[in-house]
């Protein structure tokens, strides 16, 4: 089953920009949710237990993994890139 990647971001977040660039360079499709443009996305981030962006949600079938911050090693492992 194909993984679904959602990244919660905001415009002024340089780690968000870096992660989006990294995901794009790895040809990983993702859905971006800007928490400043949609209040519902802010609520979703809070519900995930996060207080800063980026927050990445990787869904694979029944499993859901959450990565707080841009942690390239953790993302590579979850996305099975290494």
Q: How many domains does the chain have?
A: 1
Q: Three-state SS for 73? A: helix
Cβ-defined contacts of 72-78 (< 8 Å, 24+): 72/22, 75/19, 75/22, 75/23
Sheet with strand 63-68: strands edge to edge:
31-34, 4-9, 55-60, 63-68
* Cα distance between residue 20 and residue 55, in whole Å: 11
The yes-or-no verdict on residue 74 having pLDDT over 70 is yes
Predicted pLDDT of residue 82: 62
User: Domain residues for 63?
Assistant: 4-79
10: exposed, middle or buried (Cβ count in 10 Å: 0-12, 13-18, 19+): middle
Q: Is the pLDDT of residue 1 over 80?
A: no
CATH of residue 61's domain is 3.40.30.10
| Three-class SS state of 48 | coil
pTM of the entire predicted model: 0.93
Q: Structure tokens of 41? A: 């996305």
């Amino acid at each position: 089953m194909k993984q679904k990647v959602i990244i919660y971001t905001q415009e002024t977040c340089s780690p968000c920009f870096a992660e989006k660039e990294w995901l794009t360079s790895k040809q990983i499709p993702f859905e971006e949710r800007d928490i400043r443009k949609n209040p519902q996305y802010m609520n979703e981030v809070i519900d995930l237990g996060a207080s800063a962006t980026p927050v990445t949600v990787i869904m694979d079938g029944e499993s859901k993994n959450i990565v707080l911050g841009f942690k390239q090693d953790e993302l590579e492992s979850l996305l099975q890139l290494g």
